[in-house]
Amino acid sequence: MVRLLPLIVAVPLLGAALLVALGRHVRRAVAETAGCACAAGSAALAVGALVLTHGTAVTWAGDWRPHHGAGVGIVLVGDRVGLGLAALTSLLVVAVLAYSWRYFEEPPRGHAGAFPALVLLFQAGMCGFALTGDLFDAFVFFELMGAVGYALTGYRVEEPRPVQGALTFGFLNSLGGYASLLGIGLLYARTGELGMAQTGRRLDAAGGPDALVTGAFVLLVTGLLVKAAAVPFHFWLPDAHTVAPTPVSMLLSGVMVELGVYGVARVHTTVFAGPGGIPAAHFRRTLLVLGVASALTGAVMCWQQRHLKRLLAFSTVAHTGLFLTGLALMSDGATAGVCLYVLGHAGTKAALFAVTGILLDRYGSVDEHQLHGRGRGAWRLGLLFALGGLALAGLPPFGTALGKALVEEQADWLPLLFVPVSAVTGGAVLRVAAGVFLGAGPVPEERPGRQETAGDEEKPETGGLLRWLPAPMITVAVLLLAGALAVGTIPGLAEGTATAAAAFGDHAGYLAAVLDAHHSTPAAEGEWWTGPGVALGLLSAALAVALAVPAVRRLLPSGGWTGPLRRLHSGHVGDYVAWTVAGIGLLSALTWW
Amino acid sequence: MNGWLVAAAVLTAGGLGPCLWAGSRGTAGRRVAAQNMATLLLCLDFLLLAQGYGRPSYVDLALVTCVLGPAGTLVFVRLLAEELHDEPEGGPPGARLLTPVTLVATPATVLPLCVATGPGRAMAKLLVIGVLLGLGATVTTRALRHG
Amino acid sequence: MADTALVTLTLLFVAAAAGAAVLTRDPARQAVVLSLLGLGLALLFTVLQAPDVGLSQLGVGAAVTPLMILLTVRKVRRRRKRDG
Amino acid sequence: MTGRVRRWALAAGLAGTAALMVAAGTGLPRFGGDQHPYGARAVAASLRQQTANTISSVNFDQRALDTLGEESILFGSVLGTVVLLRQTRDEHRVRPRPERVPAALRRYGAGLLPVTLLIGLYIVAHGQLSPGGGFQGGVVIATALHLLYVGADYRALERIRPLGLFELVDGSGEAAYVLLGGAGLLAGSAYLANVLPHGTFNTMASGGTVPLLNAAVGLEVASAVVVLLAHFLDQAIEITDNRKAHR
Amino acid sequence: MTGPLAALPYATAAWLFLAGVYGMATSRNLVHAVGCLSVTQSSTYVLLLAVGYRRGATAPVFSDVPTSVPVVDPVVQALALTDIVVGATVTALLLALVVQVDKGHGTVDPDELSELKG
C-alpha cells in the first residue's frame, strides 16, 4: 500500500493528460465522467492509505532509499496529517467536479475536457504538496498548484474582473514562490540537503541558528504565507476568490489556502523546530502577530462587504488567521484543534460558496443589495446558507465549533480572539441570509463614492439564468455541510486527529521515521466536547445572530472608520508587491529580535 | 594561464559589454542591432570557452546559439517592423558594423580553434558553426537595413 | 585567474542587464534587454560549469520569452490602433 | 491607496529584505568551496547507473519526481494558456495578408529549418550523455518550426502546424512520463524506479529509463511550446474582437 | 575568488531579486511588470548555481572527460533547469492574462484598473 502513495499524484496527472490528448474526440459528458473517475480514484487511494496504514507511511520515489541517513532521492511522507489533507483535497475535488457538472455553458472549442483536466492538475499539485517530504519537490508542487490556479481563476476570460484577479494572484504567488526558492537555496548552501528531514538533521548537527538560518526561514515561509494569505501577504486572495468560477473558489478557499498554513507548520516542525532551527519563542511570536492581524483584518473586511464571494473570501482570511494563531501555540492539543477546524471549515466554506454560485446562476447577481428579498421562494437554499453561517460562527456540533473549542482550551485569552472573529464572519453571512432569503429589513441604499466592489456585474456561469435549482449543485452543498457536521460528531475522527497532531509536531519522530525507518507512535488522548467549549461555541453563534439582526435593520454604524483599511485593498498589483516585500521585512524583524 | 579563456574574457568585456550598453538605450533598431551582435559574440565566446575548459561537449552551446540567435533577431525585426521603419536609410548605425565584425571575428576565432583541434568531427562542427554564423549575420543585417 | 575574471565579468554583465531591463519601461524595448539578460545568464551558467542550464536558458531566455512578450505587445498595440 | 504609501512600503520592504539578505549572506559558505555532499552522492549514483550526464541522471532518475512535477507545470500552463487565449464568442479571425519576404530571407528560413530541427533532435538524443536533453532540445525543435514564420509568413507556419496533432503529442508525452513511472511499480519496485538494464557507460543505450523519460519530455516540450506560441501568434495576428474598451 | 569579490555572486542574486521587485512595484505597464518578474526569478538561478560552484572543477558530464576529474554540484543544476521551465511557463500564463486584461479593461496600466477594491 505504501508504495502506491505516488499514485495519489499520478492518477490525476494521467487523467489530465488523457483528457487533453483525446479532448478533441470525446464528448463532454465522457470527459467529465472520466475527470470525476480519476479524482475519485485518487481520493480512494488517499482514504485507503489513511485507513490501511498506521503511523507514518514513508516511500522513496524511484526506490532511492537512503543509507545511513544519506540518500539522493525524493521521499513521500504519508503521515496522518499529510494523508488527511490529500484525502480532504481529493474528496473536495470530487465534490467540485460533481458540482460543476455541465456547469459552464460551453467548454473551449475542441477542448471538452479542459476544465476537468485543469482541476485534476490542481488536485495533483495540492496532493503532491501535502505528501512530499522534500523542500524542492514541495516548491515544484507549489508552483504546479499556482500555475493551474491562475488559469482556473481567469477561466471566464470574457469578463474583465476574473482576468485581473487571476493576474494579481499570479504575480504575488510567483513572487512568493521565488522567495521560497531563495530560502531553499540558502538552506542547501548550509546543509547540502534538500529533504526536509535531512536538512533538519544537518541543521541540528551544526549547532545553534545564525543569520543564514533565520534568513532561509523567513524567505521560505514567505511563499507559504502568501499561499496562506496571512496579512500582509493576503491581498491577492479576496481579488482572486471574488472572481474565480465558483467551483474554483470552493477549492481555493476550502483547501489551497489551508495548504499554505500546513506548509508553514510542516516546514517548521521538520526543518526548523530542532536545536539548530528557529528558537521556539521567535516562531511563536511571528506566527501570533501574523495570525492575530489576519484574523482581525479578515473579520473587519468581511463585515464590510456586499459582494458575497468577496465576503466569503475575507472570512477565509480571518479563519486562516485563527489557524495560524492556533499553530503558534505549538501544542499537540492546539494542532489537533486546528486540524479539525480546517476540516470543518473546508466543508462549510465550500458549501457557502456552492450556495452563492447557485444564487449567481439563478438570479444573475451576488450583490447583497441587489439580491435583497429576491431569494424568498428558495427556502432550502436559504436554510443551507444560514446553517453555513452558523457553522462558520462556530455553532456546536459543527466541526468548526469542535476545532475552535479545542484550540480555545489551550490558553485563557484565546476566546477573546476566536469568539469575536468567528462571530463577525458568521454574522456577516447571517446578515446576508436574512436580507436575501427573508427580505428582512429595509432595502439597503446605495452609498455613492464609497470604494467597494459590488457584486451586481457578475455574470452567471451557466450560460443563461437557471429556472430551477439543479439537483447536483444542491446535493453537493448539502453533502459538504453534512461533512462539516460529521467532523464535529464522529468521535473516531477527533481521536485520529489527536494522534495525527502529536506525530505532526514531533520533530525528532519525523526525522527518525523518514531517515531511519524507526517508527514510534506518540500516545495522544483525543479531546472531545467539553462544557466550556460548547458554551463558547453557543456564545459565538449567539453573538453572530445578535450582530446580524441589528445589521439587517440598519441599526449599526456604517463603519466609516474602516475606510483606510479598505483603501489599502486597492486592487493594484504594484501596491500588493510593495506590501509583500514589506511583509518580508516584517517577518525578518519578528524572527530576528 | 589559459589563452583561450583570456580571449573569452576579453571578448566578454570588450564585446558583450558594449552590446549591452547599446542595447539598453536609443531607438529600437539600435537595440536590436546590439542584441544581434551580442548573439554573434556570445557564440564565439562559447567556442573559446569550450576550448579553454577542454570540454568539446560545450560546443553544443555555440551550435544552438548560431541558429537561435539569428532566428531571434529576425523575430524582433518582424514584430518591431513599425518601429524599425522609422530608422534612417541604411538601417540603425549598429547594423553596419555587423558584417565586418562577422567577417573578421568569426574566422579569427574559428580558424585557430580548428588548428588546435586538428582534423576530425570536432573540426567539421566548428566549420559548420562558422558557416552558419556567417549566413545568419548576412541575413539579419539585410533584414535590419531594409526593415 | 582567467576563471575568476570570467565569472566576475559575466556577473557584472548580468547585474547590469537586470538593472537595464527593469528601468526600460517600454515593454517592446524591454524585450530586447531581457533577451540580452538571457544571453548573459546563459554565459554565466556556462562559466559556472552548467552547460545544461545554459542551453535551457538560451532557448527560453533568449528566444521564447522575448517572443511571447513581443507578441503580447503587438496584440495590445493592435487593439489600441483599432480603437484609435 | 496613494502612490506615496506604496513608495514608503516598498522602500521599507526593500531595505528590510536587503538587510536580511546581507545578514544571511554572511553565513554562506565561500563561493567555489569543496563541500557538496549531495552533489558528490549524486555523481556516484549517476556513475553506478551508467549515466554519463549526471544532470540527466538527477533529473530523470534520482529526482525524477521533480521532473514529473515540472512537466506537469508545463503541461498545465500550456493548457491554461489555451483556455485563457481561446477565441471567444465576440471575436473573429482575420486572415493576415501574405507578407512580402525578401528572397534571401526566404531561402535562409527554408534552409535553416531542417538544420535547426536536426540540431534539436541531436540535443534531445544525447541527453543522457552530453549537455542537453528533452527540454533543451524540445525548445530548439519548437523554435525551428517558427523559422517558417520569419522566413515566410504566418500562413505558411499554420499549414505545417496541425494543432490537434501537437496537442495529442503534448498529452501523450505527459501520459508517457506518468506511465513509465508506473512501470517501476509493476516491476515490483517503486514509482519512477529505473528498472531497465543500465547498459554501457557513455553509449546511446545507457542509463536505463533515462533516455525514455528524456524522449517523453522532449516530445512534450516541443509540442507544448508550439501550442503555446501558436495561441500567442493567433492572438497577435489573427484574432480580432469587436469589443470597445471597457469603460 | 577571494576578498570582496567572493561575495559578488550572492550579491548579484540579491540584486536581481530586489531590482525585479522594485520594477514590478513601480511598473506602469503590466507587460513590463511580467518582464520584471522574470528578472526576479533569475535571482534564484544565480543563487542556486553559485551555491553549487566549485573552484577549478568542471561540469558533471562525463561524455568527454574521465570520471575522476573534480566536478561541480549537479543537483543545483537539475534544480535550476526545473526552475527555468517554471519561469517560462509562469511568464506565458501571466502574459496570456495580460492580453485578456487589455481586452476587458482596455488598458494595461495597473493604475487604471479599479474594478476590485475595498
pLDDT at D241: 81
Q: What is the pTM of this model?
A: 0.96
Residue B89 has pLDDT above 70, yes or no: no
Is residue E118 domain-resident? no
Take residue A74 and report the three cell numbers written for it. 525524493
Decide if B45 contacts B6 (C-beta within 8 A).
no
Q: Other C-beta atoms within 10 Å of A550: how many?
A: 13
pLDDT at C2: 81
Does B76 contact C29 at a Cβ distance shorter than 8 Å? no
pLDDT at A102: 66
Rounded to the nearest angstrom, the minimum Cα separation between E49 and chain C is: 7
Rounded Cα gap, residues A292 and A329, in angstroms: 12
Mean pLDDT across A305-315: 95
Block means of pLDDT (10 residues each) for chain D, 247 residues, are: 85 96 92 91 94 94 96 96 89 84 88 94 92 93 90 85 91 96 92 91 88 95 95 91 59
Rounded Cα gap, residues A239 and E89, in angstroms: 22
Does A163 contact E82 at a Cβ distance shorter than 8 Å? no
Residue A450 has pLDDT above 70, yes or no: no
Decide if D181 contacts D64 (C-beta within 8 A).
yes
Query: In Å, how far are A152, C56, D58, D120, E54 from D55, measured between CA atoms?
Result: 33, 13, 5, 18, 16
pLDDT-based confidence at residue A448 (cuts at 50, 70, 90): low
What residues form DSSP beta bridges with A78?
Answer: A57
pLDDT at A469: 75
A447 interface with E at CB cutoff 8 Å? no
Instruction: Provide the residue type at A338 as one letter.
Output: V
**Percent residues over pLDDT 90 in chain A:** 78
Angle, CA of A19, A25 and A30, to the nearest 5°: 60
Ramachandran angles phi, psi of C56, nearest 5°: -60, -45
Residue B94 has pLDDT above 80, yes or no: no
Specify the CATH number for the domain of residue E14.
Answer: 1.10.287.3510
SS3 E34: helix
Mean pLDDT across A18-30: 85
Ramachandran angles phi, psi of A58, nearest 5°: -120, 130
Residue A1 has pLDDT above 80, yes or no: no
Residue E35: burial class (beta carbons within 10 Å; 0-12, 13-18, 19+): buried
pLDDT at B114: 92
Chain mean position to CA A48: 23
Does E64 contact B55 at a Cβ distance shorter than 8 Å? yes
Question: Which of A283-287, B41-45, B105-109 has the least mean pLDDT?
Answer: B105-109
Mean pLDDT across B107-122: 91
Is residue E117 domain-resident? no
Residue of A161, A175, A148, A187 whose CA lies nearest to A233: A175
Does E20 contact C22 at a Cβ distance shorter than 8 Å? yes
C40-53: per-residue pLDDT in tens?
999 999 999 999 99
Residue of A221, C59, A63 whose CA lies nearest to E81: C59
Counting the structural domains of chain C, the total is 1
Neighbours of chain B (3+ CB pairs under 8 A): C, D, E
Nearest C-alpha in A relative to D90:
A158
Rounded to the nearest angstrom, the minimum Cα separation between C67 and chain B is: 7
Decide if E84 contacts C56 (C-beta within 8 A).
yes
Decide if A308 contacts A432 (C-beta within 8 A).
yes
A103-161: per-residue pLDDT in tens?
666 666 667 789 999 999 999 999 999 999 999 999 999 999 999 999 999 999 988 99
pLDDT-based confidence at residue B133 (cuts at 50, 70, 90): very high
pLDDT at D247: 40
Angle, CA of A348, A334 and A218, to the nearest 5°: 95
Mean pLDDT across B67-93: 83
Between positions 215 and 244 of A, the ones with CB within 8 A of E are: 238-239, 242-243
Decide if D223 contacts D166 (C-beta within 8 A).
yes
- Residue D53: DSSP 8-state: B
* Full domain range(s) for residue C18: 2-83
Decide if A61 contacts A10 (C-beta within 8 A).
no
pLDDT at D159: 86
Does B78 contact D112 at a Cβ distance shorter than 8 Å? no
pLDDT at A105: 62
A555-575: per-residue pLDDT in tens?
888 778 888 899 899 999 999
Nearest C-alpha in E relative to D37:
E73
Angle of helix A160-191 relative to helix A236-243, nearest 10 degrees, comes to: 140
Mean pLDDT across A467-494: 91
Nearest C-alpha in A relative to D36:
A192
Mean pLDDT across A519-528: 78
A160-190: per-residue pLDDT in tens?
999 999 999 999 999 999 999 999 999 999 9
With a CB cutoff of 8 Å and minimum separation 6, the contacts of E63 are: B57, D52, D53, D126, D129, D130, D202
ipTM: 0.96
What residues form DSSP beta bridges with D91?
Answer: D241
Residue of A424, A363, A426 whose CA lies nearest to A398: A426
Residue A583 has pLDDT above 90, yes or no: yes
Higher local confidence (pLDDT), A366 or A106: A366
Rounded Cα gap, residues B81 and B74, in angstroms: 10
Q: b/e per residue, A158-194, with b = 16+ CB within 10 A?
A: bbbbbbbbbbbbbbbbbbbbbbbbbbbbbbbbbbbbb
Angle, CA of A493, A498 and A499, to the nearest 5°: 100
Residue E50 has pLDDT above 90, yes or no: yes
pLDDT at C65: 93
Residue of B74, A77, A583 whose CA lies nearest to D147: B74
Residue B146 has pLDDT above 90, yes or no: no
Residue E1 has pLDDT above 70, yes or no: no
D46-76: per-residue pLDDT in tens?
999 999 999 999 999 999 999 999 999 999 9
Q: Is the dihedral of CA A381, A386, A391, A397 positive or negative?
A: negative
Mean pLDDT across C2-17: 94
Question: Which of D115, D116, D150 is closest, CB to CB, to B74?
Answer: D150
Mean pLDDT across A403-424: 95
With a CB cutoff of 8 Å and minimum separation 6, the contacts of D73 are: A140, A143, A144, A147, E85, E86, E89
| Chain C positions in Cβ-Cβ contact with residue B62 (cut-off 8 Å) | none
**Percent residues over pLDDT 70 in chain A:** 97
Question: Which of A70, A114, A137 is closest, CB to CB, to D83?
Answer: A114
The DSSP secondary structure of D215-244, one letter per residue, reads: HHHHHHHHHHHHHHHHHHHIIIIIEEE-PP
Mean pLDDT across E1-11: 80
Residue A29 has pLDDT above 90, yes or no: no
pLDDT at A524: 77
Listed in sequence order, the DSSP H helices in chain D are: 3-26, 37-48, 54-57, 64-84, 103-125, 134-145, 147-151, 154-159, 163-186, 210-233
Residue A429 has pLDDT above 60, yes or no: yes
Does D36 contact E78 at a Cβ distance shorter than 8 Å? no
Mean pLDDT across A40-59: 93
Element (H, E) at A565: helix A563-568
pLDDT at E49: 97
E1 interface with B at CB cutoff 8 Å? no
* Full domain range(s) for residue E38: 3-112
Residue E37 has pLDDT above 70, yes or no: yes
Counting the structural domains of chain E, the total is 1
pLDDT at D246: 44
C19-72: per-residue pLDDT in tens?
999 999 999 999 999 999 999 999 999 999 999 999 999 999 888 999 999 999
Is residue E68 domain-resident? yes
pLDDT at D87: 87
A272-288: per-residue pLDDT in tens?
999 999 999 999 999 99
pLDDT at E94: 97
Decide if B34 contacts B19 (C-beta within 8 A).
yes
SS3 C20: helix
Mean pLDDT across E10-29: 97
Mean pLDDT across B64-90: 86
pLDDT at C62: 81
Rounded to the nearest angstrom, the minimum Cα separation between B129 and chain C is: 16
Decide if A151 contacts D79 (C-beta within 8 A).
yes
| Chain D positions in Cβ-Cβ contact with residue E89 (cut-off 8 Å) | 73-74, 76-78
Is residue E59 domain-resident? yes
| A397 upstream amide cis, omega within 30 of 0 | yes
